[in-house]
Copies of this chain bind each other. A is one copy, B any other.
Amino acid sequence: MTVHDHAAAGGPLSDDRAGAIRDRLRLAIVGRKLAPGTKLSEAEVGALFEVSRTVVRAALQMLAFEGLVRSERNRGAFVANPSPDEARQIFASRRLIEPGIAREACARVDAGALERFAALIAEEASQIASAGPQARQAEIKASGDFHLLLAEVAGNAILHRFMEELVARSSLVIALYGRSDASSCAHAEHRGILDALAAGDANRLARLVGEHIDHIEADLDLAPQGRAPALKDALGL
């Protein structure tokens, strides 16, 4: 398979080749097609996309910055494998940032934006109703895009980029530590958030967004039972 087989289907791909590869890899990681810890060999990725290692290295460096890839010197790049502690930090960051973003979005939202929110929620509902891994990936993307649209409407490009990183890494965390999918639950909360946004009720909106994040985190199993910690406990340290 080469990149050309899917070039037409891609979303907002950058025009530069490194950015395009980064976008494709990110989609695969966030969509859980690439499991955490998977080795991303430069030669292999390069062969897949028909580019040299130079371009692949640039793409991997970008993903490393976003925290989706862990790069180890002389060893290569791997899909990130966030620890429970990192997971907590990711959600603590979202808990701090997103209610504020929502307040700002509430002040700036207009009819066009509300339509885009509604379209995303409809897409999300449609994918939840569908079966198959393709639908799961699309559902994850729609759910994340809901939060990103909030940041976009808020009109702050920096916070939007922070949110892109946090939402992407959240998907990895949920893949690793998610107890249930809880997608229908999250979806219902998205509807409530849109209601508050449409009503212009900034306080209710901020509260709902905060609770939404709490609920997602509450569905995680972040007990210190990862491989390394478990071993450590097993040895009685």
Name A's B-contacting residues (CB within 8 A): 16, 57-58, 61-62, 65, 67, 73, 86, 89-90, 92-93, 96-97, 100-101, 104, 156-159, 162, 166
Contact = CB atoms under 8 A, between A and B. Distances in A.
A73 B157 contact: no
A159 B90 CA distance: 9
Given A65-B65, A73-B16, A159 B96 contact: yes
This protein's copies in its complex: 2
Nearest to A67: B158
Contacts of A166: 158
Which 8 pairs from chain A and chain B are nearest by CB?
A96-B100, A89-B156, A65-B65, A93-B158, A89-B158, A93-B159, A92-B156, A162-B162
A158 B96 contact: no
Nearest to A157: B89
Given A65-B65, A96-B100, A100-B96, A158 B90 contact: yes
A229 to B, nearest CB: 18
